[in-house]
Structure 1
Amino acid sequence: MTRYLFSRLGSALLVTVLASIGIFALIRLVPGDPVSVLAGPDATPASRAAIRAELGLDRPFWSQYVHWLGDLVRLDLGPSYKLGGDVGSLIADGALNTVVLTLFALVLASAGAVAASTAAVVGDKRWLDSLLSALNTAAVAVPTFATALVLVLVFAVRFPVLPAGGTPPGGFLAHPDIAFQYLLLPGLALALPAWAALTRFLTEALHTELRQPYVTTARALGIPRRRIVLTQALRNALPSSITVLGIQFGTLLGGAILVEAVFAWPGLGRLVEQGISSRDYPVVQVLLLLSVVVFVLTQLATDVIHAWLDPRVRLDSRVKGASR
């Protein structure tokens, strides 16, 4: 397992470095100039030049990149151009809210996918498969922001039973029941696309397992279909589903930007939107790179868990390494 882990660390580090270069370059290709935002429309050329020199934007591209990368290694994220304060403090303030929302949505999507897939396979009813397929299609086809708006209109405006937005006034741990109410609508809007993808994949994986010889043997011995699915097929279908779960975690992070905007959720998604609109390079660069790092680490963790649950993955890696 250790050898397999180290074999994946190299590719993860390479992806992170390449992503940092791409992010640093793409941010500077976005129309607009942070100097113009800071200086104002009436600033003189001398004032603009002074601000540009102070921010280090007058240096060559690679010089700016190396300086930025060095600051990152020292965990010195620098000051924000426009939003005010240190970038690290801004990220720390919004990170907790985004992490809580994303993990809550991930739990909803995972639990819902296991329940729906298991019910569809155990029930083995055509109408249930059709209903599940229709729900999956709708969850994927409808944009996240549209789902969020519908949930607000129905459960916060038409039938005011849940908060329309914001975070719990006393924090997430002060009153868990109130925190759950604040989390339910944004978490549900964020979780639906991930739930659809996980449900579709897990259902197909379970159907594949039910065609395996061990299931035929178990059925011949008189073991009920429900017991086979719950005790054997589901366990064998989970390793491959873990990989899909890791991919969906990245999808959740991307969807959090829209969901946080609709529900006025003060997390990293809203911080990204504010940073882009104000051309705040330091904030946007760090947040985009942070999202890449989180996604890469999630993929690495899911691959390791997959290899731990399925020894064939580790064996295949060793065989490829030996053949080289």
Structure 2
Amino acid sequence: MIRRALRQGLRGILLTWLTLSTLFLATRAATDKATLIQGTLEGNARVSGLPEQLALTQQLLHRYNLDRPLFYLAWQPAAGWQWHGSHNQYHQWLLQLAQGSLGYSYQEDAPVMHLLGRALRYTLPLTLLAAGFSLLLAVHLALWVSCRPTARSLVLAVLHALQSIPLFLLAVCLLLLLANPDVVAWFPAFGLGDAETEINWLQQPGYLLYHLTLPVLSLVLVSLPALTIQLDGALQQELSQKYIVTARAKGASRSRAVRQHALRNALLPSITLLTELLPSLVAGSVVVEVLFALPGMGRLLAEAAATQDYPVLVGAAGLTALVRLLAQALADMLYQMADPRIRLSQ
């Protein structure tokens, strides 16, 4: 078990490094230095003369390591391949990454880790609440449907219809129905009110959950159908097994056979959905946060993409890759807990 954990950890580190390296090299190669410098000079009213502009330009290029070659090797049409040694952007980025730093934002001139941490204060509770409610509702709904075969067709038809609705359209419908003064204004339409400036989940959980109700509901409704349909299909397969037939022959009701016997084995195929659930909720939270004007990862990524703030985009992509790796590790652990027959390969 320790070997497998170490092997998975090393594989996760390797995949994360490859993902981040590819994104870093691609975004740095696409970085327009002239646009970056011009935007900084225009935003700095104190810089007026040419000498000051040149000095600030050199300072800016040095701060972001843009005055160095991109990689260890570079092709020059006149000179051919040239070796730059450790004096390059990628090597400096690796040193910063080893120290737990993702560099500085081009636009806010702040550490990327600080910006991501500030955004996660809103995105993390939103994603965890959506994941918890989705799993809880999916299990109970699948059990309810399996215990009532007459209602199964209708419920599955509704779930398939709900699954076909895009997240953006679903969130807009919730806004028009539950946050519209002309219909029902039960919930706020956007933002976090006064809590947006300084948030404390422990001191004011009710107030913040009230503002997160529609975003969480949007994510739950978009992820619930797939989880429920998958679990219901697994339960139907288990209900045809001989041990269920034996339990029913001994007098167990359908509800008891489903809950006490079929559920545990039916959860095994559904565990694989956890690998996709958390990353999909993180991606969905970007859409939801932009639509509901929440100061989380969605707003941060939207602003970074609009301003070509590539360090922030690379950091967010690395965070998403890390979430997927953690979800895979969690699914593997749950597999072992749910089925003792699973033997770890050496």
- TM-score relative to the length of structure 1: 0.88
Q: Which has the higher contact order (CA 8 A, sep 6+)?
A: 1
CA contact (8 A) 1:35 1:52 kept: no
Distance change (3 Å), C-alpha of 1:27 and 1:135? farther
Instruction: Tell me the SS of whatever aligns to 2:189.
Output: coil
CA distance in 2 between partners of 1:13 and 1:20 (Å): 11
User: In the TM superposition, what whole-angstrom CA distance separates every residue of 1:257-303 from its partner, at most 9, and x where no partner exists?
Assistant: 11000011111121111111111122111111111112111211221
Aligned to 1:217: 246
Divergent runs of 4+, >4 A: 41-49
Distance change (3 Å), C-alpha of 1:249 and 1:49? same
User: In the TM superposition, what whole-angstrom CA distance separates every residue of 1:26-61 from its partner, at most 9, and x where no partner exists?
Assistant: 43466x626404423998896896344542224333
Of 168, 180, 197, which aligns to 2:209? Answer: 180
Aligned to 1:36: 35
Instruction: Tell me the SS of whatever aligns to 2:341.
Output: helix
CA distance in 2 between partners of 1:192 and 1:59 (Å): 49
The alpha carbon displacement at 1:249 in A equals 0.8
Distance change (3 Å), C-alpha of 1:208 and 1:66? farther
Aligned to 1:190: 219
The alpha carbon displacement at 1:22 in A equals 2.2
Is residue 2:264 matched to residue 1:265? no
The runs of 5 or more residues in structure 1 that have no matched partner are none
Counting only pairs closer than 5 Å after superposition, residues 40-119 of structure 1 correspond to structure 2 as 40=39, 50=58, 51-62=60-71, 63-119=88-144
CA distance in 1 between partners of 2:104 and 2:40 (Å): 23
Aligned to 1:124: 149
Figure out how many residues of one structure are paired with residues of the other and give that number: 314
Q: Which amino acid aligns with 1:148?
A: A
CA contact (8 A) 1:240 1:306 kept: no
CA distance in 1 between partners of 2:33 and 2:225 (Å): 40
CA distance in 2 between partners of 1:4 and 1:252 (Å): 28
CA contact (8 A) 2:168 2:287 kept: yes
Decide which moves more: 107-116 or 82-91.
82-91
CA distance in 1 between partners of 2:32 and 2:250 (Å): 72
Aligned to 2:85: none
Counting only pairs closer than 5 Å after superposition, residues 148-297 of structure 1 correspond to structure 2 as 148-157=171-180, 158-167=183-192, 169-170=194-195, 171-297=200-326
CA contact (8 A) 1:122 1:225 kept: yes
CA contact (8 A) 2:139 2:228 kept: yes
Instruction: Tell me the SS of whatever aligns to 2:260.
Output: helix
Instruction: Tell me the SS of whatever aligns to 1:312.
Output: coil
The alpha carbon displacement at 1:2 in A equals 2.7
Identity between Structure 1 and Structure 2 (%): 33
CA contact (8 A) 2:93 2:103 kept: no
